[in-house]
A and B are shown apart, each in its own frame.
Chain A
Amino acid sequence: MTVSRRDLLKALAASAALRVCGASWPMTALSAQEQAGRLWVNKHLNLSQPVWRYYDASNHGADVVARHARWRGGVAHLRSILNDAQAAGRRVRAVGAGWSLSPCAISPDVMINTMPLNCHTVGVAPDDLSTSRFDPSCIVFAQCGTGVRELSETLEARGLSLPTSGASNGQTICGAISTGTHGSARRVGSMQDFMLGLHVLAEDGRQYWIERESAPVVSAAFCQRLGATLVRDDLVFRAAVVGLGSFGIIHAVMFEAAPGFLLEVHRRRLDWPQVAHAAATLELDGLGLPYRDVEPFHLDIAVNPYSPKRGEGGAIVTAMYKRLLGPVPPRAVSDTAMVPGVDLLAMSGKFAGLMPGTIKRGVNSMFVSMMKATERPPLGTHGQVFPTTPLIGHSLSTEIGVDLGDAGQALGTLIDVANRYPFPGLFGVRYVQRSDALLAFTKFEMTCTIEMTGAGGDRTKKFYNRAWAALDRAGIPYTQHWGKINNTTAANLRTRWGSSVDQWIAARRSLLSPAGRRLFSNDLLSACELHG
């Protein structure tokens, strides 16, 4: 590759011309898409959407609000956006940190960035509650854009903790619950399972406080202060809490924080045949964990599908045990570190597509170095153990939920597919107890979730299609995580969620008018025929 003399002269001439133009030239104008509307891109760079109107929601609205009630400004701003969108006949989607890999939070019409809405308070007045079942000092009221990391920091400073979270902390609280984000604390459930109430902004300026009839939380006075109509209905709550952004804009949530605790982290590299039985049954005797008679609070297994034999070290088992809150040894913090490159995943994906023969070797060598790369403190708070991931870039991920009884067959099927059609990625196996949210993908009594995460690219997408087809052929019932890549449509929705689908639709109809249902729908909802 060479540069012609003409190109060189052009560059010099352009440079000289721009010098003459003065200081305005160094900054190139925004792209046309941003001028015309906005091109929204998600965190994992697998989705982009031109948007007619994109708003950064703000607590600093026109209303003058007291410092302790800044959230009122956010409510006013959201209602004004909703009014404008409804008047213009546009559909609206709230988006948090853009963590989802599925088009859950996407709309070509109006998208609202809720990240700036991060007011959260720990502790409510006793008269805010209608029950003495909860300790008011542990009740958290958090605006939708509050990040999981922010909540962990605030709670841990008060000796409290989130009961569970996903493996990393970048999501906003409402983004996390709306898609059914989970960890692997198998007796705790998913993030939506510790929610107590939702403050929802709907069409025509309506506001609702939604909570379970079977577990009422707030008082009438609280709803009055909020300006919301109290809706006490188990089905509506169970539908709206994993509502895919379709029950209105969830402005805030309420939940009970757990007493603070530490996690003692143990990680072992084992051969897959040693782990397979435990992975399929949760009988952990063969894993050689440190406390044989104590059930780990958290258990997850990373599986390298390309090292399935004895002697290949194809599984990393992580077990965490809950410990009383106490002093945590300070961790060394460096102001500069070498981390995986931003383009690493995209380049790996490209390379895998061009040279599929190298995938197994590449994944094997990465898996060998993984133990060191993911070393975590042996003892830490929840927020320290599930930290911010430094890995960014073009990645893909899909996740299925199967009944624990089907986990062995599902894992065997998926390992087989990966060995016949390798993709540049790994499996993550976790365990979550049943969620009562109607469309939660953790719907089985003990759901084994199998995440297949890989470098971005067509190879990985094609692998996902083959994996889903193989599970279908094998007749293994499974669900899919709403926030990850999935092929859930109207054709398979009822096979996966059964009668819960119609309950979800009925609950949405009972809350929203036809205009509201249109306002809070998007293409994903239409594809699943959940919009009507």
Chain B
Amino acid sequence: MGTRTGTTRRLAAAVLLVLAGGCAHFRVAPHNVSPATVQEERRVRIAGWGVQEPLVTPTNCQGQGMATVMITIRPRDTFIAIFTLGLVRPALIQWTCAKERNGGAQ
């Protein structure tokens, strides 16, 4: 009985530990666009049930647009959103800038 409880506890702990690292990711990555930069990121929040929203304006892309965009919502972010009844909704936005086609030669 004791052994079974121990195993159950270990399993529960393992599942919790694993899930605690699990985030929801939403990715946008067009075909045939290669990244020119490493990933940049900004942690952002929506306030007042959407009265104010973040506008991320990447300054490092130099007019080339983006190769990838990923929005990440961590378990902690969901937790904050629930406990503030949606007043504050955090997320992480990450992006890479697109390469210029053939270095602009074509």
Q: How far is the CA of A341 from the CA of B19 in the complex (A)?
A: 13
| A314 within 8 Å of B (CB atoms) | no
Q: How large is the interface on A (under 10, 10 to 19, 20 to 34, 35 or more residues)?
A: 35 or more
| A113 within 8 Å of B (CB atoms) | yes
| A71 within 8 Å of B (CB atoms) | yes
Residues of B within 8 A of A19 (CB): 47-48, 51-52
Residues of B within 8 A of A143 (CB): 103
**Distance in Å: Cβ of A341 to nearest Cβ of chain B:** 7
Query: In the complex, are the beta carbons of A118 and B102 less than 8 A apart?
Result: yes
Given contacts A3-B83, A15-B48, A343-B21, contact A27 B54 (CB under 8 A): yes
B residues 42-65 with Cβ under 8 Å of A?
42-48, 51-56, 60, 62
Query: In the complex, are the beta carbons of A351 and B14 less than 8 A apart?
Result: yes
Query: In the complex, are the beta carbons of A150 and B36 less than 8 A apart?
Result: no
| B84 within 8 Å of A (CB atoms) | yes
Given contacts A19-B47, A26-B47, A347-B22, contact A119 B102 (CB under 8 A): yes
Query: In the complex, are the beta carbons of A346 and B103 less than 8 A apart?
Result: no
Chain B residue at smallest Cβ distance from A41: B38
Chain A residue at smallest Cβ distance from B43: A28
Residues of A within 8 A of B105 (CB): 67-71, 119, 121
Partner of B36, one of A12, A70, A116: A116
Residues of A within 8 A of B4 (CB): none
| B78 within 8 Å of A (CB atoms) | no
Q: How large is the interface on B (under 10, 10 to 19, 20 to 34, 35 or more residues)?
A: 35 or more
Q: How far is the CA of A121 from the CA of B106 in the complex (A)?
A: 10
A residues 97-144 with Cβ under 8 Å of B?
97-98, 113, 115-121, 143
Query: In the complex, are the beta carbons of A347 and B34 less than 8 A apart?
Result: no
Q: How far is the CA of A15 from the CA of B90 in the complex (A)?
A: 11
Residues of B within 8 A of A149 (CB): 32, 34
Chain B residue at smallest Cβ distance from A57: B36
Query: In the complex, are the beta carbons of A15 and B22 less than 8 A apart?
Result: no
Query: In the complex, are the beta carbons of B54 and A118 less than 8 A apart?
Result: no
Q: How far is the CA of A156 from the CA of B26 in the complex (A)?
A: 31
Given contacts A19-B47, A343-B22, A343-B25, contact A354 B17 (CB under 8 A): yes
Residues of A within 8 A of B23 (CB): 342-343
Chain B residue at smallest Cβ distance from A147: B34
Query: In the complex, are the beta carbons of B103 and A74 less than 8 A apart?
Result: yes
| A261 within 8 Å of B (CB atoms) | no
Query: In the complex, are the beta carbons of A40 and B38 less than 8 A apart?
Result: yes
Residues of A within 8 A of B102 (CB): 118-120, 150, 154
Q: How far is the CA of A150 from the CA of B103 in the complex (A)?
A: 11
Query: In the complex, are the beta carbons of A56 and B14 less than 8 A apart?
Result: no
Query: In the complex, are the beta carbons of B103 and A15 less than 8 A apart?
Result: no
Query: In the complex, are the beta carbons of B87 and A15 less than 8 A apart?
Result: yes
Residues of A within 8 A of B100 (CB): 59, 116, 118
Given contacts A113-B37, A343-B22, contact A8 B103 (CB under 8 A): no
| B69 within 8 Å of A (CB atoms) | no
Given contacts A11-B88, A113-B37, contact A26 B44 (CB under 8 A): yes
Partner of A11, one of B32, B48, B62, B83: B83
| A416 within 8 Å of B (CB atoms) | no
| B1 within 8 Å of A (CB atoms) | no
**Distance in Å: Cβ of A409 to nearest Cβ of chain B:** 37
A sample of 19 more A-B contacts (CB under 8 A), given A116-B37, A116-B100, A118-B103, is: A8-B84, A18-B45, A19-B47, A26-B44, A26-B53, A26-B54, A27-B42, A27-B54, A28-B42, A59-B103, A60-B62, A70-B105, A71-B105, A97-B35, A113-B38, A147-B34, A147-B99, A150-B34, A350-B18
Instruction: Identify the 9 closest CB pairs spanning chains A and B, nearest first.
Output: A119-B103, A26-B54, A354-B14, A28-B43, A342-B25, A116-B36, A70-B103, A115-B36, A147-B34
